[in-house]
Structure 1
Amino acid sequence: MAVLRQLLPVEWIEPLWLGLQILLILVAAFFLQRVVARCLSRLAQRYPLPPELIMPLRGGLRWLIMGSALIVVLERLGVSATVLWTALSGFVAVAAVAFFAMWSVLSNLLCAVLIFTVGPFRLGDVVELVDTIDKPGVKGRVIAINLLFTTLVELPETGGALVQVPNSQFFQKSVRRWRGADALPLVGEDTPKGN
């Protein structure tokens, strides 16, 4: 600091020091975000986690780290912590209202995470949502699972149409499941071996 005072005018030292602090905060946040992304990639390689789960998690953590860095930078620039917390609490209140407004979508997202992690069924399985014991529900082979819907191809006797079932339905109703090779054949498929 003493060397800087000899080389630069006094009024330049404070802004340069503040700029250096801000730069260090942003560089630290960038490297922290990279380390977290690398750890998530390693976690996804070690455990069979689908990209549909890892990508939003990585993006959310990136926003959290960079948002925290922005708050620290604003505090270094002299913005009051009270003002920051007031703004943040207002944002959280609005987000809570939006959360309740989008409850059905968010429940499907949570159920998708549970389907990916718990694995009650997989691609290629035949599943049936049972309304009641004596009344059959939707039945078909699972061909796709995304964050909102599970796509089934109906069995030939019911028309073979594509049906998109909200993921939350698999946790609200009873589900019958036939695993991959043991599953019933669809239109154009050969019967499973051993039958």
Structure 2
Amino acid sequence: MEFFENFKILQSIIILAVAFLLRFLITNSLRKIQIKFGFQRARILVTNKVVSFLIFATAIIVVAFLWGVDEKQLVLFISSFLTILGIAFFAQWSMLSNITAGLILFINYPVKIGDSITILEKDNDLTGQIKDIGVFFITLTTKDGQNVSIPNSLILQKMIKYK
């Protein structure tokens, strides 16, 4: 019996070591992406926190299963937690959509900080240089020096012309 407990401890240590190694590799990759594409440090830090949370949450769940936590109880706990989280996010739906849009803009969008874009509107186009791409807003500096903040979700809904 003692052999199996020692083996579980060794497996738990290996799982946590793999999680730390994976986090280290992803953190270094995010730094390289920041340098290559000119993303702001704050955006990389937010992405790093989300990825780290997901890695360690997965590692903890795997270790819990390894030590014999009942699957039904764990699923009940996780589903209850996600239900409460879902209700909280539903109350702040626009905030959640802006965060999601910010991640999409960060990962898969053809413009970066410093690029000039024009947001094509029906009545009034808006042209400016991207000053910041944050978690909730993109900040543009117009030709007359004004800073304009636009919600990330709105950027994904509008047609954009860029150079």
The alpha-carbon deviation at position 52 of structure 1 amounts to 4.7
Structure-2-length-normalised TM-score: 0.74
Distance change >3 Å, CA 137–CA 117, structure 1 → 2: same
Distance change >3 Å, CA 67–CA 171, structure 1 → 2: same
The alpha-carbon deviation at position 113 of structure 1 amounts to 2.3
2: distance between equivalents of 1:65 and 1:110? 21
Name the residue aligned to 1:32: 18
Matched, 1:94 2:80: no
Q: RMSD in angstroms over aligned alpha carbons?
A: 2.9
Question: SS in structure 1 opposite 2:130?
Answer: strand
Name the residue aligned to 2:142: 154
Structure 1 residue identity aligned to 2:128 = G
Is this contact kept in 2: 1:25–1:69, CA < 8 A?
A: no
2: distance between equivalents of 1:25 and 1:101? 41
Bigger-Rg structure (1/2): 1
2: distance between equivalents of 1:34 and 1:124? 34
Distance change >3 Å, CA 175–CA 81, structure 1 → 2: closer
Deviation string for 1:99-155 (max 9, x for gaps)? 3233322222222222223333222222232220xx214332111112211111122
1: distance between equivalents of 2:91 and 2:159? 27
Give structure 2 stretches of 5+ with no counterpart: none
Matched, 1:116 2:106: yes
1: distance between equivalents of 2:67 and 2:80? 17
Is this contact kept in 2: 1:128–1:175, CA < 8 A?
A: yes
Question: SS in structure 1 opposite 2:112?
Answer: coil
2: distance between equivalents of 1:89 and 1:21? 30
Identify the match of residue 73 of structure 2 among 83, 100, 125. Answer: 83
2: distance between equivalents of 1:89 and 1:145? 33
Structure 1 residue identity aligned to 2:96 = L
Structure-1-length-normalised TM-score: 0.64
Question: SS in structure 2 opposite 1:168?
Answer: helix
Identify the match of residue 155 of structure 2 among 146, 153, 170. Answer: 170
Distance change >3 Å, CA 112–CA 23, structure 1 → 2: same
Deviation string for 1:51-103 (max 9, x for gaps)? 2564134323333234314523662xxx5332222222211222222332333
Q: Which has the higher mean CA deviation after the structures are superposed, 100-109 or 66-75?
A: 66-75
Flag as ranges the 4+ runs of structure 1 deviating above 4 A. 16-19, 46-50
Q: Which has the higher mean CA deviation after the structures are superposed, 57-66 or 86-95?
A: 57-66
- Which of 1 and 2 has higher RCO (CA within 8 Å, sep 6+)? 2
